[in-house]
Amino acid sequence: MNIPVRIEPSAGPLAPVGYRWDEDTDILTAQVEDVTPGRSLSVDVEGSDGSWLILDVADDRIRGVEVAVWPTVRKLAGLKPPVEIESVLVRVGRDGGAPGVSAVEVDTPVAAESDDDERTIHFRLGPGRQVRTVRIARDMLLDIDTRDRLAGVWLLDVPPFPVNP
């Protein structure tokens, strides 16, 4: 699994995250609300179990995550993100990435876990490894491994899936 990132100091206040559930498809979209218009790159992460996460990247920054096909979600009663989390700006790719590229597909194992209420969801990307967790928006965290590669995504304060009466 190789999605390289560059970590820079935070550029100001953290933006909120807006969530949207598609009731017909169970797709969850988490969008950082200070999104600049236009989509520059889609990073599609395909799990070996058929799961799909799509990272929306604009100006080298992750602006959204869409869970298009869910991996099996394991519930962990005490799931909580790490306590000490630095707020940073994360840029996807190496300096001077390939111009003209609009989509990248990565095949890797994807594991998902949630708390009992499914308000905190953690996606692990690739094999288990040592990570540090950083905050890129109020309710979106990333796990970064020791080689500065994306290793996971945390979605916090996720609204419940809509239930029709």
Of how many residues is the chain composed? 165
Q: What is the pTM of this model?
A: 0.91
Per residue in 117-147, pLDDT (tens digit) is: 999 999 999 998 999 999 999 999 999 999 9
More confident residue, 2 or 56: 56
Domain ranges of the chain: 5-94+104-155
pLDDT digits (tens, 9 = 90+) for 16-50: 999 999 989 999 999 998 766 655 788 999 998 99
pLDDT digit string, tens, across residues 52-109: 999 998 888 899 999 999 999 999 999 999 998 999 999 887 665 555 567 788 899 9
pLDDT at 155 (0 to 100) = 97
CA dist., res. 150 & res. 137, Å (int): 16
Over residues 70-79, the pLDDT tens digits come to 999 999 999 9
